[in-house]
Amino acid sequence: MQRIHNKLAFPLKLGLGAILVLGFLPQVQAQDKKADPSGTWTWTVPGRNGGPERKMTFKLKVEGDKITGKIAAPARGGEIRETDIKDGQIKGDEITFKVVREVNGNQMTTKYNGKVSGDTIKGKAEFDRNGETQSRDWEAKRGSDTKDTK
């Protein structure tokens, strides 16, 4: 009887070990998978002094852990001004980048951070206004036909 038990113990242990390993494998792969924020994204911000909302657009390109691209936003005269994204990084599904604009000879920096989830990025934008740090939530949506950055 002992001999039959020993013969069954090894295959049983091997089978249970395989089930455990295979059960954890998809979780490990999901953790290693990096989000892809490449494409064209849009969102709106409140207008100045109660004016109409302003549409913001940015185009992102990912190379390894680095994000490059441009942000397009309406300027005071209504024309669209494009500005390069600086110091863009991606780690997993978290992205960060800065946009430095020059207005009337003064540089204004906005720091963006966000979490990519499918075709949505949610995060915070931080900037200085009158010597005080301000932050604003932002949520961008990727267009269905804009995953390329040609």
- Which option is the CATH number for 39-142: 2.40.128.30, 2.40.110.10, 2.60.120.10, 3.30.70.1520? 2.40.128.30
Q: For the chain of 150 residues, list the mean pLDDT of each consecutive stretch of 10.
A: 58 57 50 78 83 88 95 84 95 95 86 95 92 91 60
Q: What is the pLDDT of residue 50?
A: 77
Length of the chain: 150
Q: What is the pLDDT of residue 47?
A: 75
Q: What is the pLDDT of residue 16?
A: 53
Q: Decide: 121 and 114 in contact? Cβ < 8 Å.
A: yes
Q: Which residue has the tokens 């924020």?
A: 37
At 35, is the secondary structure helix, strand, or coil? Answer: coil
Q: CB count, 10 Å around CB of 52?
A: 10
Q: What is the pLDDT of residue 2?
A: 55
Q: What is the pLDDT of residue 65?
A: 94
As beta bridge partners, residue 61 has 68
Q: What is the pLDDT of residue 42?
A: 94
Q: Decide: 60 and 88 in contact? Cβ < 8 Å.
A: yes
Q: What is the pLDDT of residue 27?
A: 47
Domain parsing of the chain, residue ranges: 1-33, 39-142
Q: What is the pLDDT of residue 99?
A: 94
